[in-house]
């Protein structure tokens, strides 16, 4: 959601106007946009855990998108990062975090971190975050942005996302910043016993977020909420051809 019709002036920073009187609200203060994002997109979606809300209020989302997308950083839609990749909309990301319920002592694998926003938020909830991004430019930029924002308990690894980062695992929590048709066994193998994994499963144009729990070596999935996102490379169904 942008700063549009009928948004109260308290959300709009130093400059705003009244559409009812023929003028359009604008926002010049990104911290005010974060407040509006949490109050109008995240809280109403039943995300109530204080650490998640606090992290999303404090992490400068506009810093983790291309410069040309800064004015789109707080809309209620996925933000395109390039190369068919997106930053998940605030509602979807917040609800995934809520379902995963990350504890302060846990280590998290963040797959498809893009420019690092998800990693920065998760770093405020977890003990450490390993982020993997296979786009070399995105991976380098993500690490630079995270370092510039003093996120010192996270590292970005350039690598094939579908392979995960087994060297640094196993992980208490795994989250995917995009959709899947299937989750490779290599990823599930990196989840600790008792750990959780969260992602969006796409079936055609329909998508649903699920949280998986590893019990006795197997992952049991449960429905969490409806959502949609582009499918991450390497997470498509294996297609077989029959003559």
Can you give the pLDDT at residue 239? 55
How far from chain centre, in Å, is Cα 154? 15
Phi, psi at 86, each rounded to 5° = -135, 160
Cα–Cα distances in angstroms (integers) from residue 15 to residues 7, 37, 71, in the given order: 12, 17, 15
**DSSP conformation letters of 68-79:** GGGGGTTSSSPE
Q: For 29, which DSSP code?
A: -
Convert the pLDDT of each residue in 155-194 to its tens digit.
Answer: 999 999 999 999 999 999 999 999 999 999 999 999 999 9
- pLDDT tens digits for 198-219? 999 998 889 999 999 999 999 9
Measured in degrees and rounded to the nearest 5, phi and psi for residue 35 equal -60, -45
Residue 132 and residue 159: Cα distance in Å, rounded? 6
Cis previous bond, 170, omega within 30:
yes
Residue 150, CA atoms < 13 Å, CB-side half-sphere: 2
How far are the Cα atoms of 53, 168, 172, 191, 197 from residue 100, in angstroms, in the given order? Answer: 14, 20, 10, 13, 7
Q: Which helix (H) or strand (E) holds 103?
A: none
CA dist 182 → 24, 161, 210 (Å): 44, 13, 12
Residues 6+ apart with CB under 8 A from 238: 182
What is d(CA 87, CA 214) in angstroms, rounded to the nearest whole number?
Answer: 27
Does residue 196 contact residue 213 with C-beta atoms inside 8 Å? yes
Domains of the chain: 1-45 (no CATH), 50-226 (3.40.50.150)
What is the b/e burial string over 152-189, where b = at least 16 CB atoms within 10 angstroms of the residue's CB? eebbbbeeebbebbeeebbbbbbbbbbbbeebeeebbe
Q: What is the pLDDT along the chain (243 residues), one digit of tens a residue?
A: 333 322 333 333 344 333 333 433 344 589 999 999 999 999 999 999 999 999 999 999 999 999 999 999 999 999 999 877 999 999 999 999 999 999 999 999 999 999 999 999 999 999 999 999 999 999 999 999 999 999 999 999 999 999 999 999 999 999 999 999 999 999 999 999 999 999 999 988 899 999 999 999 999 999 999 999 999 999 998 754 444
């Amino acid at each position: 959601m942008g700063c549009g019709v009928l948004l109260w002036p308290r959300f709009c920073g130093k400059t705003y106007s009244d559409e009812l009187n023929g003028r359009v609200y604008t926002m010049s203060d990104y911290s005010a946009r974060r407040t509006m994002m949490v109050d109008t997109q995240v809280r109403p979606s039943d995300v109530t855990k204080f650490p998640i809300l606090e992290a999303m209020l404090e992490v400068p989302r506009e810093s983790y998108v291309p410069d040309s997308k800064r004015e789109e950083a707080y809309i209620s839609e996925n933000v395109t990062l390039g190369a068919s990749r997106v930053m998940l909309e605030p509602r979807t990301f917040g609800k995934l975090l809520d379902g995963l319920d990350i504890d302060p002592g846990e280590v998290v694998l963040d797959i498809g971190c893009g420019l690092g926003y998800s990693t920065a938020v998760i770093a405020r909830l977890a003990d450490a975050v390993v982020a993997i991004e296979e786009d070399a430019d995105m991976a380098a930029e993500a690490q630079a942005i995270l370092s510039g924002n003093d996120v010192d308990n996270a590292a970005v690894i350039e690598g094939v996302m579908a392979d995960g980062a087994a060297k640094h695992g196993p992980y208490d929590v795994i989250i995917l910043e995009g959709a899947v048709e299937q989750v490779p066994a290599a990823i599930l193998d990196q989840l600790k016993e008792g750990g959780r994994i969260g992602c969006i499963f796409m079936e055609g144009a329909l998508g649903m977020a699920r949280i998986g729990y590893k019990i006795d070596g197997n992952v049991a999935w449960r429905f969490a909420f409806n959502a949609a996102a582009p499918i991450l490379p390497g997470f498509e169904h294996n297609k077989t051809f029959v003559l």
